Structure 1
Amino acid sequence: MNRRVLSILVDNTSGVLSRVAGLFSRRGYNIDSLTVGVTADPRYSRMTVVVNGDELILDQITKQLAKLIDVIDIKVLEESESVSRELILVKVRADAQNRQSIIAVADIFRAKIVDVAIDSLIIELTGNQSKLDAFINLLEGYEILELARTGITGLSRGTKDVKYL
């Protein structure tokens, strides 16, 4: 199984997300991660979609996406030629005994404590997937109450192949 990260520039209109997701579901493909947000130009949104499959399936997905009328541009974000990040928020049970050790783990990863309660902490961390997974693994000794991940978002490096609108 190969993993592909697609950066898709689309019209910022209602129904686009549904049409893109529908393309995947109709063909029985799974989306591992999906993030969407408006670009600097409010007429357009950028979707970052992570999919797994063999090369034939991944090429077919890319070609089918290109046929959608709302799709302006598709880029495959190769790991060595792009920057990708993900954000997590983790709520950890933190009493007086373990609060400092949890904060120490967060400091090692340059995470931010964004909320402190009597019995918990919420920690924010941004990075690549392996960094976030390593952070979560180190927190396994503590009680994770809630966890939210945004999914991957990314851009290609440099100005080569930039779609100016």
Structure 2
Amino acid sequence: MRRVLTCLLSNDPGVLNRFTGTLTRRQVNINSISISPVGDNSASRVTAIVYLDNETTAKQLVAQLNKQIDVLEIHDITDQPHVERELALIRVNAAANKRAELFAMVQPFRADVVDVALDSLMLQITGSRDKVNALLRVVQPYGVTQVVRTGVAGFTRAEG
């Protein structure tokens, strides 16, 4: 089952390696990971998407990660109201005579054109993984030549 873990880690060399090493030792595959410094750069926020067998395994994993000295806090937010977003850059073949058609196809996704070349366009989309995947399916017939995705970033929703 898909689990969304958010962690606050000390921003020191080797911390991410120890964090991911714990997952590797437990044979947990990381489907997506996003990390960035927060505040005064003394800590980093990590959002990791992992697949686990059951909720008990998820609780055990969170407890084990929480024991690490560099883990300042960790939460499994899967069952809490939360927001997840991903950024993707997609290079699509786009001959001049097909561009208007392509613009019309991507407009409902609120994707932006961030680069134009003679024979291609680079699109940027931000949204849920489902939204990114849907856009990829729509532009696939035009010829997707490159895709880069950031991985999921997420927070719990504010109360009130």
TM score, norm. by length of structure 2 = 0.94
**Map of 1:163 onto structure 2:** none
Mark the CA change 1:11 to 1:85 in structure 2 (over 3 Å): closer, same or farther: same
**Map of 2:68 onto structure 1:** 68
SS of residue in 2 equivalent to 1:98: helix
Q: In structure 1, what is the Cα distance between the partners aligned to 2:80 and 2:56?
A: 22
Q: How does 1:14-163 map to 2 (within 5 A)?
A: 14-54=13-53, 55-78=55-78, 81-158=81-158
**Map of 1:13 onto structure 2:** 12
For the Cα contact (< 8 Å) 2:80–2:156, is it kept in 1? no
Contiguous gaps of at least 5 residues in structure 1:
161-165
Q: In structure 2, what is the Cα distance between the partners aligned to 1:129 and 1:141?
A: 20
Mark the CA change 1:50 to 1:155 in structure 2 (over 3 Å): closer, same or farther: same
Q: In structure 1, what is the Cα distance between the partners aligned to 2:157 and 2:21?
A: 30
**AA aligned opposite 2:156:** S
How far the C-alpha of 1:80 sits from its partner, in A, is: 5.3
**Structure 1, 16-25 or 52-61: larger mean CA deviation:** 52-61
SS of residue in 1 equivalent to 2:96: coil
Cα deviation digits, residues 122-141 of structure 1 (max 9, x gap): 00000011111111111121
Cα deviation digits, residues 16-37 of structure 1 (max 9, x gap): 1100111111221100000100
**AA aligned opposite 1:147:** V
Mark the CA change 1:139 to 1:49 in structure 2 (over 3 Å): closer, same or farther: same
SS of residue in 2 equivalent to 1:97: helix
How far the C-alpha of 1:100 sits from its partner, in A, is: 1.4
**AA aligned opposite 2:47:** T
How far the C-alpha of 1:79 sits from its partner, in A, is: 6.1
For the Cα contact (< 8 Å) 2:5–2:78, is it kept in 1? no
Cα deviation digits, residues 36-61 of structure 1 (max 9, x gap): 00012311100001101122322222
Mark the CA change 1:150 to 1:41 in structure 2 (over 3 Å): closer, same or farther: same
Q: Percent identity?
A: 38
SS of residue in 2 equivalent to 1:145: strand
- Give the superposed CA RMSD: 1.5
Give the aligned length.
159
